[in-house]
Structure 1
Amino acid sequence: MDIETLLRGHPDWLAHLESGGPATIAFPDDLADELVRLAVPHEDIGAVLATLPEPGGPLWWLAERCVGSLVSAMGGLDPPPAFPDLPELGPYFFVHVFVAALPYTRRYHREHGVPDEVSRATLADLGRNMAAHRKRHGTGGLHHPRWFMRHARGILYELGRLQFERVRMGVRTGEGVRAAGLPAGPGDLALSVHIPDFKGPMTPAACDASFERAREFFPSCFPAERFLIATCHSWLLDDQLAGHLPASSNIVAFQRRFHLLHRCDTGAALEFVFGAEAAAEWPRRTRLERAIADHLAAGGEWYGRAGWLRL
């Protein structure tokens, strides 16, 4: 594989990597144990170890600069260019990058007083997203490497059932909040709520506990920032779900927390609910699977939806 030729196909990203320079990286002697701590699926650990980049080689050069990109934007709300999906680098290259960045991420956590249990839970999302990749594609790898950049840069934290990301509101969401009479709008700080996979039911009690932890965590660890609003952009906020699920469902209860705004992406429900399973084989094992599949079979379409709530 010719790394130089590959990167020339992404000139803006290459220019960013070259301008920022490398970070010093090393892999721990107990890397297998580290991968277990990160919840990396057991079937992937051997392959992650076997494909480590060699010091001085082209993948090492690239890994140093990817980690340098993360470090250069550590804690900042303005992200660096997203890591592109580059299967030519192998399924585990960005896993190596995020593992190499751990010392920098953990130092940032310590500097901001992030409790150890929150740091561990947050970083274990690496393994969860490797499991998500296998669920969606049937092979080993990391699902959307750009997603874990948030964790590695110290802007996203897992607090119980939910994750919270330090963001600035976009135009449409911010205008919706301002129109409701709140003293916040586009560009103002907010916490973006994410619902991780593989964590069991999102019960009202579990979500209540997560929001309460967020109200305590962020003023403690980021006292210079004031978060008045939480936002969410998710297929779980598609109000069509309320027409297919009982009023007592956890998803409907979650939707009721938010003031719903505009529709956004389409198709995410299929990816999250069915993974790699083909349309002809959509299972109907749960009420949610039946709702998604039956709505599509009737010619309907599912959407993402934006929403907000006051913290």
Structure 2
Amino acid sequence: MDVKALLRAHPDWLAHLESLGGFDLALPGDLVSELLRLAVPHEDVNAVIAARPEPGDPRWWLAERCAHSLVATMGVVDGPPPFPVLPELGPYFYVFVYLAALPHTRAYHRRLGVPEEVSWATFADLGRNMAVHRKRHGTGGLHAPDWFMLHARGLLFEMGRLQFNRAKLNRRVGQALESAGLPVGPGSPALGVHVPDFRGPMTPAACDASFERAREFFPRHFPDEDVRVVTCGSWLLDEQLARYLPAESNIVAFQRRFHLLDRYDGSDMMAFVFGGDAADLARLPRRTRLERAVGDHLAAGGTWYGRTGWLRF
């Protein structure tokens, strides 16, 4: 495999990687225990072990520099180019990149005083996103391999039911909030909130507890960041859902927390809601109220959107 030839389709990423020096790519000695601790699904464990790269593997150069990219930008909000999806590398290539970087992430967490239970709950999202990949595609792999960059670089933390990542307001959202009279603008520190899959109901009580933990956690561990707002970009905030779901539903309650801004394409909703069943729109299952809502809206000629929302922190 000519790795650099493969990367020429991603010139910015290749230039970034080539600018980095070497890196001591140390993989766990007890790989099985590490995978299980990271909640890697049992049906993936043997396949991950079989795919372990070794020095001399054409992918080794790339794995070294990917891990170096993560470690070199540890804790820095403005990050490196995202990892692209490259099937030619195999379904588990980025799993090994993250395994090599995680000791450095753990050390960073310890320097910040992050509790061990928060660290390991956060790292377990690696296994969760392997489960998401199987849910959507029916095969082993790591869903959205660039997503775990936030975790590995010490930017995202799991706070119970919800996850929060350190961020900066982009120009569009920052200008909108500035116009609304908030003491923020483009580039202001903020938190992004996320609702991970396979984590149980997003009840109002569970979400309240997550927000309370975040309000305590981030000022304690990042005292130099004056965070005033939390933002969320998700199909969960499409207000059309309230037409189909009862007022007391968890999703509608979650929506009510936010002031809504713009709409954007929400086609990723289908994979979140239906997994692999989203492939055949004519035969969408109707097993839950949410599935019935999504399917019925589409059958009536409707369109779903993502929405950006914000709330005061």
SS at match of 2:47: helix
Question: Counterpart in 1 of 2:125?
Answer: 125
Size of the aligned set, in residue pairs, is 311
Question: Counterpart in 1 of 2:37?
Answer: 37
SS at match of 2:108: helix
For structure 2, the residue ranges without an aligned partner over 5 or more in a row are: none
How does 1:99-114 map onto structure 2 within 5 Å? 99-114=99-114
The Cα offsets for residues 129-188 of structure 1, whole Å up to 9 and x where unpaired, read as 000001111110000101110000000100000000100011222122222211112110
Q: CA deviation at 1:2?
A: 2.4
Question: Counterpart in 2 of 1:214?
Answer: 214
Coordinate RMSD, CA, aligned: 1.0
> 1:98 touches 1:152 (CA, 8 Å); kept in 2?
yes
Aligned amino acid, residue 30 of structure 1:
D
In 2, Cα distance between the equivalents of 1:248 and 1:304?
A: 21
In 2, Cα distance between the equivalents of 1:253 and 1:289?
A: 18
Question: Counterpart in 1 of 2:151?
Answer: 151
Paired residue for 1:288, among 272, 287, 290?
290
In 1, Cα distance between the equivalents of 2:310 and 2:11?
A: 37
Aligned amino acid, residue 25 of structure 1:
L
Question: Counterpart in 2 of 1:54?
Answer: 54
> 2:39 touches 2:128 (CA, 8 Å); kept in 1?
yes
Paired residue for 1:300, among 295, 299, 302?
302
Q: Under a length normalisation based on structure 2, what TM-score does the superposition of the two structures give?
A: 0.97
Aligned amino acid, residue 214 of structure 2:
A
In 1, Cα distance between the equivalents of 2:82 and 2:31?
A: 26
The Cα offsets for residues 259-287 of structure 1, whole Å up to 9 and x where unpaired, read as 00001232021010011112233110100
In 1, Cα distance between the equivalents of 2:299 and 2:22?
A: 51
> 1:22 touches 1:67 (CA, 8 Å); kept in 2?
no
In 2, Cα distance between the equivalents of 1:23 and 1:265?
A: 39
Aligned amino acid, residue 42 of structure 2:
H
Question: Counterpart in 1 of 2:193?
Answer: 193
The Cα offsets for residues 205-250 of structure 1, whole Å up to 9 and x where unpaired, read as 0000000000000011111111110000000000000111010000
Q: CA deviation at 1:57?
A: 2.4
The Cα offsets for residues 92-144 of structure 1, whole Å up to 9 and x where unpaired, read as 00011111111111111111111100000000000000000011111100001
In 1, Cα distance between the equivalents of 2:232 and 2:66?
A: 28
In 1, Cα distance between the equivalents of 2:114 and 2:283?
A: 44
In 2, Cα distance between the equivalents of 1:101 and 1:171?
A: 31
Question: Counterpart in 2 of 1:274?
Answer: 274
Aligned amino acid, residue 92 of structure 1:
Y
Q: CA deviation at 1:299?
A: 0.8
In 1, Cα distance between the equivalents of 2:61 and 2:35?
A: 22
> 2:235 touches 2:307 (CA, 8 Å); kept in 1?
yes
Q: Percent identity, please.
A: 69
Runs of 4+ in 1 over 4 A off after TM superposition: none
Aligned amino acid, residue 310 of structure 2:
W
In 2, Cα distance between the equivalents of 1:31 and 1:223?
A: 36
Question: Counterpart in 2 of 1:2?
Answer: 2
SS at match of 2:248: coil
Q: Is 7-16 or 228-237 further displaced after alignment?
A: 7-16
Question: Counterpart in 1 of 2:11?
Answer: 11
Q: 1:70 to 1:210 in 2, by over 3 A?
A: same
Aligned amino acid, residue 286 of structure 1:
T
In 2, Cα distance between the equivalents of 1:268 and 1:8?
A: 28
For structure 1, the residue ranges without an aligned partner over 5 or more in a row are: none
SS at match of 1:56: coil
Question: Counterpart in 2 of 1:233?
Answer: 233
> 2:4 touches 2:14 (CA, 8 Å); kept in 1?
no
Q: CA deviation at 1:3?
A: 1.7
In 1, Cα distance between the equivalents of 2:188 and 2:120?
A: 29
Aligned amino acid, residue 282 of structure 2:
A
Q: Under a length normalisation based on structure 1, what TM-score does the superposition of the two structures give?
A: 0.98
Q: CA deviation at 1:85?
A: 0.4
> 1:173 touches 1:307 (CA, 8 Å); kept in 2?
no
Verify: 1:169 aligned to 2:156, yes or no. Answer: no
Question: Counterpart in 1 of 2:77?
Answer: 77
> 1:32 touches 1:45 (CA, 8 Å); kept in 2?
yes
In 1, Cα distance between the equivalents of 2:283 and 2:31?
A: 39
Aligned amino acid, residue 269 of structure 1:
M
SS at match of 1:68: helix
